[in-house]
């Protein structure tokens, strides 16, 4: 195996092991999961019509929100649609799988907000801990470049987050399916990747890279706390553009224009919009990473 | 071969840790002794690539440490045991050594496993190999530090106070281990325990105030004190300040002193054969006298 790959994979392997034993990622992902399930249990049935099993006969949805709903307890009551598109919308709204999926996604957003705020302070210790444990100078006597070191640390945190958040998402998905019935898994997976995983990875990137410039865990955590506004901003950008209700409004607008796959189109557009709001953060992260690497290398040359 | 020319290191605030050190070190055990603040650790950190000299050049097996590529290549040949060893407390000994071996560039898994097993046996830690490092005593951590320094069969081994915290048996064991390994590599041993040097090194330097004040064999350093080492056994009076007290031994009838200098006849002193410690103490005394302003 190539030495560079061996070194980076070694850092990933042992850093993940240490994260597991330090319980940082476990706490983070566990907190996220407990939060989601707790919120879901507290809110209970969260369907659009608020009265659980009711059938939506007619609903007016525009950019201002749900303006009018006509519901019935009779599961066979006829739909009151003005056109085919609105009829399609109502069919989707009354589909138990769609409703379970939407219910799940509605609760997802506040959970993601808490997750994103918790990431920077909790993960900012990763590199400063090497200084705190006095291992950093030992690592500096090995033929390990700064770039490999940073990449290894970053990938270990990312991989840990992917695994931890995936487990949380799976458990939450099973819980919601148990309570509300089958969901649209593909919709849920896509939503989870774009709304939770990508912003979490971006923030974790900042939380690992920026504190590489300090030499104590306390300073690292303070930097992490200082990043909370960035977390809130990223959360606002992500959740603002990808929140569930606006998807519904857009779907309604598309349905009124006679576009048949209104929900799918609205959902895909929303995910793409959300990704486009995250791209600048990714570019900034890359720039910050390069800057930190350059500073570390310059420090090494002048120590 | 390690070559240093005009090596100077100054820290902020005008502290001069090294002042124009010129040294060439070949294979074998090489001792580095000197009082606190003499510049030993600075010299070792420069050789380990952790510090850049303010002036001067260092070449480690032909690799120029002033260049990034040179440092990188030299580090591939290096094993380093710092004075204050840091470890990951949540890893066990095998995991920690495996991690360090990977970072040192040991790619072959089987080779890593074999070497880790052998090193753990050499440092007498096989039984504790699966225990987390946070449960290790100071002596055990010292031994794990020694094992990590030996990973990858480094051509240059830098050990800073390696026997501090070890019990006498472990110290002898470690000294012998280093001597065995010194056959085809350079081992730079810094210590305050002069006995470690006398038992294992055939070449040494004494640093004082950032400069080399002695370079030679331990026997030469011992010889420097010949004719100046005395035993005073009358026990009645403590030797005066003109004599350097090396040791004092409480006896049934009074105290026996070992001193350096020229005791007058009132002490009824008898000459003694100098040891390396006597030679070192004599050298320090002479250097201090030289540095003292003329009255």
The H or E element containing residue A183 is none
Q: Which two three-digit tokens encode residue B43?
A: 């010299």
A22: nearest CB among B90, B99, B103: B90
Q: How many Cβ pairs closer than 8 A exist between chain A and B? A: 78
Q: Which two three-digit tokens encode residue A144?
A: 């390990």
Mean pLDDT across B238-267: 82
Q: What is the percent of chain B where pLDDT is above 70?
A: 98
- Asked if A41 has any chain B CB less than 8 Å from its own CB, the reply is no
> What's the pLDDT tens digit per position in A76-97?
778 887 766 667 667 777 777 7
* Phi and psi torsions of B211, nearest 5°: -120, 155
pLDDT of residue B133: 95
pLDDT of residue A244: 66
Half-sphere exposure of B52 (CA within 13 A, CB side): 14
Distance to chain A for B48, nearest Cα, Å: 6
- Asked if B11 has any chain A CB less than 8 Å from its own CB, the reply is no
- Polymer length of chain B: 295
pLDDT of residue A66: 61
Q: Verify whether the Cβ–Cβ distance B103 to A142 is below 8 Å.
A: yes
Neighbours of B28 (CB within 10 A): 16
Mean pLDDT across A121-126: 92
Give the C-alpha separation, A90 to B3, whole Å: 83
pLDDT of residue A108: 81
Mean pLDDT across B67-83: 90
Lowest mean pLDDT among B1-10, B36-45, B266-275: B266-275
Dihedral sign for Cα atoms in the order B174, B170, B166, B198: negative
Mean pLDDT across A176-185: 83
Residues 89-108 of B with CB under 8 A from A: 89-91, 95, 98-100, 102-105, 107
Mean pLDDT across B136-165: 88
Q: Verify whether the Cβ–Cβ distance B105 to A138 is below 8 Å.
A: no
* Phi and psi torsions of A113, nearest 5°: -60, -50
**With 60 as the cut, is the pLDDT of residue B295 above it?**
no
SS3 A300: helix
Mean pLDDT across B175-182: 82
pLDDT of residue A209: 95
State the alpha helices, DSSP H only, in chain A: 3-22, 24-43, 84-93, 96-123, 128-132, 136-139, 146-180, 185-192, 198-209, 217-226, 228-242, 244-256, 262-302
Q: Verify whether the Cβ–Cβ distance B82 to A137 is below 8 Å.
A: yes
* Phi and psi torsions of A70, nearest 5°: -120, 120
Give the C-alpha separation, B85 to B159, whole Å: 11
**With 70 as the cut, is the pLDDT of residue B184 above it?**
yes
Parallel, antiparallel, or unpaired: how do β-strands B55-60 and B2-11 relate?
antiparallel
The model carries a pTM of: 0.85
DSSP-assigned states of every residue in chain B: -EEEEEEEEEETTTEEEEEEEEEEE-SEEEEEE--TTSSHHHHHHHHTTSS--SEEEEEETTEETTSHHHHHHHHTTEEEE-SS----TTSBHHHHHHHHHHHTT---HHHHHHHHHHHHHHTT-GGGTTSBGGG--HHHHHHHHHHHHHTT--SEEEEESTTTT--HHHHHHHHHHHHHHGGGSEEEEE-S-HHHHHHH-SEEEEEETTEEEEEE-HHHHHHTTTT-EEEE---SS---TTSEEEEEEE-SSSEEEEEES---GGG--EE----HHHHHHHHHHHHHHHHSPP-
> What's the pLDDT tens digit per position in B93-121?
999 999 999 999 999 999 999 999 999 99
Mean pLDDT across A44-62: 63
**With 80 as the cut, is the pLDDT of residue B71 above it?**
yes
Q: What does the mean pLDDT of chain A come to?
A: 84
- Polymer length of chain A: 303
Q: Which two three-digit tokens encode residue B52?
A: 């850049």
Convert B59-84 to b/e letters by CB count within 10 Å (16 or more is b).
Answer: bbeebebeeeebbebbbbbbbbbbee
Q: Which two three-digit tokens encode residue B212?
A: 């080399």
| Distance (Å) of CA B217 to CA B29, B32, B33, B206 | 11, 12, 13, 11
**With 90 as the cut, is the pLDDT of residue A220 above it?**
yes
Q: Verify whether the Cβ–Cβ distance B105 to A137 is below 8 Å.
A: no
> What's the pLDDT tens digit per position in A94-113?
777 777 777 777 788 888 88
Q: Verify whether the Cβ–Cβ distance A302 to B52 is below 8 Å.
A: yes
Q: What does the mean pLDDT of chain B come to?
A: 88
- Asked if A143 has any chain B CB less than 8 Å from its own CB, the reply is yes
pLDDT of residue A64: 61
Q: Which two three-digit tokens encode residue B207?
A: 């640093």
> What's the pLDDT tens digit per position in A10-47?
999 999 999 999 888 888 888 889 888 888 888 776 55
- Asked if A23 has any chain B CB less than 8 Å from its own CB, the reply is no
Lowest mean pLDDT among A236-240, A290-294, B85-89: A236-240
Q: Which two three-digit tokens encode residue A128?
A: 């400063």
The CA radius of gyration of chain B, in Å to the nearest whole number, is 22
Give the C-alpha separation, A114 to A111, whole Å: 5
Distance to chain A for B109, nearest Cα, Å: 10
* Phi and psi torsions of B195, nearest 5°: -60, -35
Convert B150-167 to b/e letters by CB count within 10 Å (16 or more is b).
Answer: bbbebbbbbbbbbbebbe
**With 90 as the cut, is the pLDDT of residue A288 above it?**
yes
Give the C-alpha separation, B141 to B133, whole Å: 7
**With 80 as the cut, is the pLDDT of residue B78 above it?**
yes
* Phi and psi torsions of B285, nearest 5°: -65, -45
pLDDT of residue A88: 67
CB-CB contact of A58 with A68 (8 Å): yes
- Split at pLDDT 50, 70, 90, the class of A185 is confident
> What's the pLDDT tens digit per position in B9-58?
998 888 889 998 999 998 889 999 988 888 999 999 999 988 999 999 99
Distance to chain B for A21, nearest Cα, Å: 7
pLDDT of residue B195: 77
Give the C-alpha separation, A118 to A235, whole Å: 12
Q: Verify whether the Cβ–Cβ distance B78 to A136 is below 8 Å.
A: no
Q: Verify whether the Cβ–Cβ distance B49 to A141 is below 8 Å.
A: yes
Disruptive mutation site among A1, A138, A294 for chain B (greatest number of B CBs within 10 Å) = A138
Q: Which two three-digit tokens encode residue A175?
A: 């819980």
- Residues in chain B within 8 Å Cβ distance of A303: 50-52
**With 90 as the cut, is the pLDDT of residue A162 above it?**
yes
Distance to chain A for B86, nearest Cα, Å: 4
- Split at pLDDT 50, 70, 90, the class of B234 is low
The CA radius of gyration of chain A, in Å to the nearest whole number, is 23
Give the C-alpha separation, A145 to B105, whole Å: 12
CB-CB contact of B49 with B71 (8 Å): yes
**With 80 as the cut, is the pLDDT of residue B203 above it?**
yes
Give the C-alpha separation, B154 to A210, whole Å: 34
CB-CB contact of B170 with B122 (8 Å): no
Mean pLDDT across B208-216: 90
Closest residue in B to A137 (Cα–Cα): B50
- Split at pLDDT 50, 70, 90, the class of A243 is low
**With 80 as the cut, is the pLDDT of residue B155 above it?**
yes
Q: What is the percent of chain A where pLDDT is above 70?
A: 84
Mean pLDDT across B173-184: 82
pLDDT of residue A242: 64
**With 60 as the cut, is the pLDDT of residue B174 above it?**
yes
């Amino acid at each position: 195996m190539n030495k560079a790959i061996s070194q980076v994979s070694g850092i990933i392997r042992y850093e993940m092991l240490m994260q597991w034993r330090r319980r940082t990622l476990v706490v983070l992902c566990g907190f996220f999961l407990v939060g989601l399930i707790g919120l879901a249990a507290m809110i209970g049935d969260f369907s659009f019509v608020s009265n659980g099993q009711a059938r939506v006969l007619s609903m007016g949805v525009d950019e201002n929100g749900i303006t009018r709903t006509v519901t019935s307890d009779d599961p066979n009551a006829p739909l009151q649609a003005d056109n085919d598109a609105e009829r399609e919308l109502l069919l989707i709204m009354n589909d138990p799988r769609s409703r379970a999926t939407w219910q799940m996604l509605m609760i997802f957003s506040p959970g993601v907000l808490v997750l994103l705020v918790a990431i920077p302070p909790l993960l900012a210790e990763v590199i400063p801990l090497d200084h705190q444990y006095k291992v950093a100078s030992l690592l500096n006597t090995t033929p390990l470049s700064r770039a490999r070191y940073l990449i290894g640390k970053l990938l270990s945190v990312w991989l840990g987050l992917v695994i931890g958040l995936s487990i949380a998402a799976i458990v939450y998905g099973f819980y919601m399916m148990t309570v509300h019935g089958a969901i649209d898994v593909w919709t849920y997976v896509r939503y989870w990747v774009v709304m939770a995983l990508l912003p979490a990875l971006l923030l974790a990137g900042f939380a690992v890279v920026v504190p590489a410039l300090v030499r104590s865990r306390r300073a690292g955590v303070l930097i992490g706390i200082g990043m909370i506004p960035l977390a809130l901003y990223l959360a606002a950008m992500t959740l603002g553009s990808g929140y569930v209700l606006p998807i519904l409004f857009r779907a309604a607008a598309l349905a009124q224009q006679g576009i048949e796959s209104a929900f799918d189109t609205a959902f895909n557009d929303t995910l793409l919009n959300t990704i486009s709001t995250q791209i600048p953060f990714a570019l900034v992260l890359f720039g910050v990473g390069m800057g930190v690497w350059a500073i570390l290398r310059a420090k090494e040359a002048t120590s | 071969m390690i070559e240093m020319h005009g090596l100077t290191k100054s820290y902020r605030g005008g502290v001069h840790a090294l002042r124009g050190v010129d040294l060439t070190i070949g294979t074998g055990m090489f001792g580095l002794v000197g009082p606190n603040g003499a510049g030993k650790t600075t010299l070792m950190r420069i050789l380990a690539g952790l510090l850049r000299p303010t002036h001067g050049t260092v070449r480690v097996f032909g690799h120029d440490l002033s260049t990034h590529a040179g440092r990188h290549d030299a580090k591939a040949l290096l094993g380093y045991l710092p004075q204050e060893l840091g470890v990951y407390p949540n890893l066990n000994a095998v995991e920690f050594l495996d991690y360090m071996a990977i970072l040192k560039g040991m790619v072959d898994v089987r080779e890593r496993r074999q070497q880790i097993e052998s090193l753990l046996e050499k440092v007498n830690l096989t039984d504790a190999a699966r225990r987390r490092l946070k449960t290790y005593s100071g002596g055990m951590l010292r031994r794990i530090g020694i094992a990590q320094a030996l990973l990858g069969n480094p051509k240059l081994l830098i050990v800073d106070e390696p026997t501090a915290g070890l019990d006498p048996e472990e110290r002898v064991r470690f000294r012998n281990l280093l001597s065995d390994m010194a056959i085809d590599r350079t081992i730079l041993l810094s210590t305050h325990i002069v006995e470690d040097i006398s038992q294992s090194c055939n070449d040494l330097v004494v640093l004082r105030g950032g400069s080399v004040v002695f370079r030679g064999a331990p026997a030469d350093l011992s010889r420097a004190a010949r004719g100046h080492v005395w035993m005073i056994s009358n026990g009645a009076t403590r030797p005066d300040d003109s004599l350097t007290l090396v040791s004092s031994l409480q006896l049934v009838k009074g105290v026996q002193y070992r001193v350096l200098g020229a005791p007058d006849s009132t002490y009824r002193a008898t000459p003694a054969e100098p040891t390396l410690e006597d030679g070192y103490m004599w050298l320090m005394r002479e250097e201090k006298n030289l540095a003292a302003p003329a009255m």
